[in-house]
Amino acid sequence: MKLLIFGRTGQIAQELRRLVPSATFLSRSDVDLADPSACARAILSSDAEAAINAAAWTAVDNAEADEAAATVINSDAPRAMACAAAAKRIPFIHISTDYVFDGTGTRPWKTDDRVDPLGAYGRSKLKGEIGVRSAGGTYVILRTSWVFSAHGNNFVKTMLRLGSERDRLNVVADQIGGPTAAADIAAACIAIIDTLSMDASKTGTYHFAGMPDVSWADFARAIFTGAGLSTEVVDIPTSSYPTPARRPSNSRLDCESLSAFGLPRPDWRLSLENVLAELAIVDCH
């Protein structure tokens, strides 16, 4: 299948490049996400049989200062992509986030639960979801959480850097979610596209996150243990670590609907082992 993928250097895009190197990957120098019409033209002028949007404005705190720009990239661009994919009658996957919810309670969020973003980033991603649905094509919106990999900037790499410098770290313990390896998301996208191309009835919104659910503090402990670091983790409340954007306390996602694609929740602990091993190899070189 000929795939067109928006994104090239992001965490998920890099894992997709490993899985499907024959796909066409569009970096921001190829197509500016701030120009939705260019995104649409990229699909309309291609011979792609499916498209995946693995690109986004992911700087959560920066979105608070420039919500308009974040909205163009996270909302207007994916809507244009989805409309173009619908016009070409090809399936489209759009990656979204748990930030579309308000993070209250302790129950895992279901796909049809009420959405109520806490900040600019979540609002921009929610508008993107609405735009993709309104395009009227064959699509999957895949909400995920706490993405990590050996690439780019993410919690695992930050903890490894800080853990190698300090004996003790304060880490938020009252935010709970499912860490999700970019490699697992990429594999899920390919499985979903394969099914969606044959069965458009699977169109809809799905959740995909690693298991078991965990706090950031306990995730940090797992990272240090796996990396052989003796850094002590001190649990702190969110109120002790203020950020420009509010983070959801409850990022748990109910992933039962993924059974439509035969996809189980991945165990992030196994994926973390792979990421740590890859980073160790990189450090050796």
CATH fold, domain 3-154+179-211+252-265, is Rossmann fold (3.40.50)
Residue 215 sits at φ, ψ, to 5 deg, of -85, 165
Q: What is the pTM of this model?
A: 0.96
99 classed as catalytic = no
The pLDDT value recorded for residue 115 is: 97
Taken in order 218, 57, 142, 17, is the CA torsion positive or negative?
A: negative
pLDDT at residue number 281: 74
- Domain limits of the chain? 3-154+179-211+252-265
Which residue is associated with the tokens 């992911």?
58
Question: 2: which 2 tokens?
Answer: 């000929």
Q: 95 with 124: CB under 8 angstroms? A: no
pLDDT tens across the length of the chain (285 residues):
899 999 999 999 999 999 999 999 999 899 999 999 999 999 999 999 999 999 999 989 999 999 999 999 999 999 999 999 999 999 999 999 999 999 999 999 999 999 999 999 999 999 999 999 999 999 999 999 999 999 999 999 999 999 999 999 999 999 999 999 999 999 999 999 999 999 999 999 999 999 999 999 999 999 999 999 999 999 999 999 989 989 999 999 999 999 999 999 999 999 999 999 999 875 654
Residue found under tokens 């735009």: 131
Helix (H, G, I), strand (E, B) or coil at 1: coil
Looking at residue 282, its pLDDT comes to 57
Which of 121, 139, 206, 241 is catalytic? The answer is: 121
Distance CA 96, CA 142 (A): 6
The two three-digit tokens of residue 235, written as one number: 């649990």
Residue 121, Cβ density class (10 Å: 0-12 exposed, 13-18 middle, ≥19 buried): buried
Helix 268-284 with 216-227: angle, nearest 10 deg:
50
CA distance 223 to 48: 39
Pairing state between β 3-6 and 92-97 = unpaired
Distance CA 208, CA 137 (A): 21
pLDDT at 212: 98
In this prediction, residue 283 carries a pLDDT of 62
Q: H helices of the chain, where?
A: 11-19, 36-44, 60-65, 67-71, 77-88, 120-134, 155-163, 182-196, 216-227, 268-284
